[in-house]
Amino acid sequence: KNEVEQSPQNLTAQEGEFITINCSYSVGISALHWLQQHPGGGIVSLFMLSSGKKKHGRLIATINIQEKHSSLHITASHPRDSAVYICAVSSYGGATNKLIFGTGTLLAVQP
Amino acid sequence: GAVVSQHPSRVICKSGTSVKIECRSLDFQATTMFWYRQFPKQSLMLMATSNEGSKATYEQGVEKDKFLINHASLTLSTLTVTSAHPEDSSFYICSATGGGETQYFGPGTRLLVL
């Protein structure tokens, strides 16, 4: 079993839909990261959070430390949101901020 | 925001040759840099962690003599794939931190070994 699991693996949505991607982890963490990887390969860090909720534009990330679960929400989705979304955690006791990655969620938003 | 660059973005080489990939932090001092490899439709795999001025720490299963990492300054780390073979063909990504937990990722280098 992976230490970081994401669901769904693949997601197709219509433009304008509300999207949720889930992430569960089994290790103690100091922070959880949501990353976005576009088809060209470049990775952008969307959020880093250790508690509660963060919002940036149409993106919202929440984390429940007790349940070891995080969600990434996209409101009013747009085709340009199409990408792979990756959940990663910085593990307690890990050296030098090493990240443990989920397998990613491939999102396709159709016009 | 913090910017990390990689060079080259794409490289094709013959089997047996060595390839050097550069990772630079453009507007901050990177105390730690990470090198990842990503195969198609798979997640990132950490290869090694490097701190400026010290030897890199390699993950289990990564050959340090094949993947040479140098982090000679606070803004530059290099990964050299020595005697490359077709199975080394992959997408290589670096990231850097300036001391905090946020990692800033480079755009990646796509390596194809013929």
Contact A98 B46 (CB under 8 A): yes
Going by pLDDT thresholds of 50, 70 and 90, the confidence category of residue A93 is low
Pairwise CB contact (< 8 Å): A45 & B49: no
For position A9, what pLDDT does the model report?
94
CB-nearest partner of B101 from A44, A90, A104: A90
Structure tokens at A93: 């006791």
Q: What is the pLDDT of residues A27-55, one digit of tens each?
A: 888 899 999 998 888 899 999 999 999 99
Q: According to the model, what pLDDT value does residue B52 have?
A: 82
B97: chain A residues, CB-CB within 8 Å: 97
- Report the SS3 class of residue B72: strand
- The pLDDT tens digits of the residues spanning B9-31 come to 999 999 999 999 999 999 899 88
Contacts with A48 from chain B: Cβ below 8 Å: 101-102
- Residue B101 pLDDT: 75
> How far apart, in whole angstroms, are the C-alpha atoms of residue B74 and residue B61?
27
The whole-number pLDDT of residue B53 equals: 80
**Which run of H or of E encompasses B111?**
strand B109-113
| B52 Cβ contact list (under 8 Å, min separation 6) | B30, B31, B32, B71, B72, B73, B74
User: What CA–CA distance (Å, rounded) separates B84 from B13?
Assistant: 8
**pLDDT given at position A92:** 63
pLDDT digits 0-9 by tens, B62-81: 999 999 999 888 999 999 99
Q: Which residues pair with B90 in a beta bridge?
A: B111
Q: How many residues does chain B have?
A: 114
DSSP 8-state symbol, B88: G
> SS3 sequence, A21-88?
EEEEECCCEEEEEEEEECCCCCEEEEEEECCEEEEECCEEEEEECCCCEEEEEECCCCHHHCEEEEEE
- Are A12 and A110 in contact by the 8 Å Cβ rule? The answer is yes
